[in-house]
Structure 1
Amino acid sequence: MARPRRGAARGADGARGGAAARRGGRARGGAALEGRALSAAGAGWTLALDTATPATVAAAIAPDGATAARAAVPGPGERPGHTRLLLPLAGEALSATGGGLDRVGRLVVGLGPGTFTGIRVGVATGRALALAVGAGAVGVPTPAALAHAAQAAGGPAADAPVLVVQDARRRELFLTLVRPGDDPRALTPWTVPQDEVAAAVAALAVRPAAAVGDGAVLRADALAAAGVAVPDDPAWHHVDGLALARAAASIPAADAADVLPVYVRGADAIPTALRR
């Protein structure tokens, strides 16, 4: 069964903290002001959802700046629990900030790339909730959340280019190069074979300061040999719901029908033995 993420994590103010901080709480200082600005943009609570990766992620930002995040990560050999866990986690995050689904004014959805089933669960749920409660909807590629966290102050690529590397299965990786200030909507993930990641890094016009994502962990040795650091802390390699919401802060809300998944490649059938 998927379990809540534990261990070191980013708290409401962006600082590293323990599991309690990861689960959320009231933001302080600048983070509180940022939270109020995000919520004001949606005239209510901001709710962020992502299921493109194996983790099921939800986060809430209240109009007064309070924040809460919830995430469930499958254990070894376990399958993701997106369908079963996403709405309960969203409800917990909203409740922790004094809100509920009926008070959501802005819905932020991670669009992928990632697993086909996972992307569909998150996008369909986000669109349905936005329609049900009359909230504005914002779609943002999932790598934007990983990059936003890594490029923040104290991150492994603070104010520097970062390479988001996701495990795409089929012995491939999704790569996304994110420069500081890039518009999340303009990000262009692409695929490379796992054993060609060093060559892909060498071909980049800009050398990233770090690589984050589950694919970076998978190919850490090859990335390090190519001169790209891979953080040891697992928290940098998981999607953070609050980072997702903040990455989308400058994007105007739109109709739910405009929130479309980012698949990158087709869903062709292949032998099971070749999926890893």
Structure 2
Amino acid sequence: MLLLALDTATPAVTVALHDGASVLAASSQVDARRHGELLLPAVDRVLADAGLRLDAVTGIVVGVGPGPYTGLRVGLMTADTFGLALGVPVHGVCTLDGLAYESGIESGPFVVATDARRKEVYWARYADPRTRLTEAAVDRPADIADAVAGLPAVGAGAVLYPETFTDARAPEHVSAAALASLAAEKLAAGEELLAPRPLYLRRPDAQVPKNYKVVTPK
């Protein structure tokens, strides 16, 4: 097994290689505006660090979000392209699950919350690093204050809103190393992973204007 994992659902552009037993190489850069520019060089760098070629990869793991439309689609389209070119399966993993797995919190309950912009967070509640109790959702922090009161909270969304998440903890962003490790563990156990399809939870920011004027040639 050689998994190439990547995620662009948060401001982090993160890539890792996992051989089924351990992480061989990893790279993470935080830059919310340069996902498309940074992702492929990061893949090249991780492969070079591991001393491997892309054609050695036997599976792709990609974070499916939730995340902003523009950033999230960079990772998903890249994963799909690699999967088609190499003829290997592409496995989806919820980005929040990756953060939960990486949290270091041995038992829950706890919360994972990432920045959804628009003064909202993407969030879910966990029983432990491998068990999500709720579906991923997008809400204003004040609206979920009672549901998360007093719980440890992981992720940039928790850091941004300390009045709601009073026990915010690292990491702020997911790492592909965590995604790869979680995916490898699930695959070894015979578990089925998610389809590599985006978990947006809301409409994209860019939309066609309503009642726009149609211009036709004379």
- Structure with higher strand content: 2
Cα distance in 1, alignment partners of residues 193 and 177 from structure 2: 22
Q: State the number of aligned residues.
A: 204
Within a 5 Å distance, the mapping from 1:42-61 to structure 2 comes to 45-61=2-18
Question: Secondary structure, in 3 states, of the residue corresponding to 2:128?
Answer: coil
Do the aligned residues in 2 keep the contact of 1:138 with 1:253 (CA within 8 Å)?
A: no
Cα distance in 2, alignment partners of residues 169 and 111 from structure 1: 17
TM-score normalized with structure 1 length: 0.67
Letter paired with 1:162: F
Q: Percent identity?
A: 36
Residue 188 of structure 1: aligned partner: 135
- Structure with higher helix content: 1
Residue 262 of structure 1: aligned partner: 199
Cα distance in 1, alignment partners of residues 50 and 82 from structure 2: 18
Residue 149 of structure 1: aligned partner: 102
Do the aligned residues in 2 keep the contact of 1:145 with 1:247 (CA within 8 Å)?
A: yes
Q: CA RMSD in A?
A: 2.6
Residue 128 of structure 1: aligned partner: 81
Question: Secondary structure, in 3 states, of the residue corresponding to 2:98?
Answer: helix
Within a 5 Å distance, the mapping from 1:158-197 to structure 2 comes to 158-180=106-128, 182=130, 188-197=135-144
Question: Secondary structure, in 3 states, of the residue corresponding to 2:108?
Answer: coil
* Equivalent of residue 34 in structure 2, options 78, 81, 87: 81
Deviation at 1:158, TM superposition (A): 1.7
Give the unaligned 5+ runs of structure 2.
Answer: 208-218
* Equivalent of residue 102 in structure 1, options 55, 67, 71: 55
TM-score normalized with structure 2 length: 0.83
Q: Deviations for 1:203-247, whole angstroms, at most 9, x for unmatched residues?
A: xxxx74x201110100123221xxxx212x5xx112111111122
Question: CA 1:177–1:64 in structure 2 vs 1: closer, same or farther (change >3 Å)?
Answer: closer
Cα distance in 1, alignment partners of residues 48 and 65 from structure 2: 27
Letter paired with 2:202: R
Question: Secondary structure, in 3 states, of the residue corresponding to 2:165?
Answer: helix
Residue 213 of structure 2: aligned partner: none
Q: Whose RCO is larger (CA < 8 A, sep 6+)?
A: 2
Give the unaligned 5+ runs of structure 1.
Answer: 1-38, 40-44, 271-276
Letter paired with 1:62: D
Residue 230 of structure 1: aligned partner: 168
Deviation at 1:70, TM superposition (A): 0.2
Do the aligned residues in 1 keep the contact of 2:121 with 2:139 (CA within 8 Å)?
A: yes
Cα distance in 2, alignment partners of residues 121 and 179 from structure 1: 31
